[in-house]
Amino acid sequence: MIRYTKNFLDKLENLFAASEYILRYEKGSFKSGYCILKENKVVIINKYYTIEGKINTLIDIVKELNLNPKDFEDRKNQEFLGELQQTQLKL
């Protein structure tokens, strides 16, 4: 279950910190609210999003990138990623 809290956002940010991707919050006119530079392994999210918007966007990106839990050394990150991959967002 998704909890729209700063703590949950921190967990998502830590997941990106442990991955090959760099997560940045910047202003921009992204049509989808984010931009993924796959060759450079950079993810940019609109910094003006609410916590809920940032969390939903990060979950979408995690699913799009098809991150593998086995690529993470920390067991907590592996379990958290596994849970995220099974999460369905309801709009």
Identify the residue with better confidence: 91 or 16: 16
Residues 38-63, mean pLDDT to the nearest whole number: 90
> Tell me, what's the pLDDT at 2?
79
Name the pLDDT band for 21 (thresholds 50, 70, 90).
very high
Whether 10 shows a pLDDT value over 90: the answer reads yes
Residues 54-80, mean pLDDT to the nearest whole number: 90
State the Cα–Cα distance between residues 11 and 14, nearest whole angstrom: 5
Q: Where are the beta strands (DSSP E) in the chain?
A: 22-26, 34-37, 42-46
Helix (H/G/I), strand (E/B), else coil: 66: coil
> Tell me, what's the pLDDT at 86?
80
Whether 18 shows a pLDDT value over 90: the answer reads yes
